[in-house]
Amino acid sequence: MNSLKNIFNPHIKDDGDFFYPIKKILGFSPKNILLFEEAFTHRSMNEINSDEHPLNYERMEFLGDAILGTVIASHLYKKVPGGNEGYLTKMRSKVVSREHLNELGRDLNLIKLVRTTISPEQFGENIHGNVFEALIGAIYLDRGFKYCEKFIYYRVIKPYVDIQKLEGKIISYKSLFIEWCQKNKKKFKFNVYEDTGKDTLKHFAVRLQLDDETVAKARATSKKKAEERAAKRAYYKLQRRIDSEMA
């Protein structure tokens, strides 16, 4: 039965094959390995616990998200004593952005430990960040807040949180473009339409208009992605102008 369940994760053959990679990632030994097994269980397994509640990483992901945000907020509060609420909020958002969390999950290669009945190739990009947050949730339940702080410091803050670099990092080009337009009273519009290309997956295309002039075009598998790509192209096309007027 276990071999059938783990058909798409051959790295997990027994408790030892899971325990030691987890210990290496954490830097300490888990007390309750079952918590970490839950943090790496995909909903496709359709497992339930003794109370007949779903057993997968989604609840721990919620918990880990809150803890990560708290630890990062505390670090920024101490590190940047002159930062106001808006500045600190923006900086925290850059650290815990979905893009950054996915990067953290990929760097630790967490996906190789996920128990699932579907092929990893079918996962969306956010699986990496979701499991990373679930891992933090498992640490909290297993060892408490102090261990979470230590893990986040060594795995997130120390290697990735550079205040000067974060200040210049753009999370959303669409948000930046809209903010610039609103600040300078410019008219803009994202004209999105379904792409009629021959791709297997449905694509959407977008024309980004600024004062009735098309400044960028893009296409992607979702409206949100297409708009973000168009805004990014528009930003680089108008970068000097936008940067000077947003300074």
- Which residues does the annotation mark as catalytic? 65, 133
Coil, helix or strand at residue 15: helix
* Residues 161, 163, 166: CA angle, nearest 5 degrees: 80
Q: Which of 107, 156, 144, 160 is nearest to 28 (CA)?
A: 144
Counting every residue written for the chain, the total comes to 247
Only one residue has tokens 């097994």, namely: 37
* End-to-end Cα spacing for the chain: 61
- CB of 226 closer than 8 Å to CB of 208: no
Give the C-alpha separation, 202 to 84, whole Å: 43
In sequence order, what are the residues at sequence separation of 6 or more whose Cβ sits closer than 8 angstroms to the Cβ of residue 200? Answer: none
> What is the spatial distance between Cα 22 and Cα 58, in angstroms, rounded to a whole number?
19
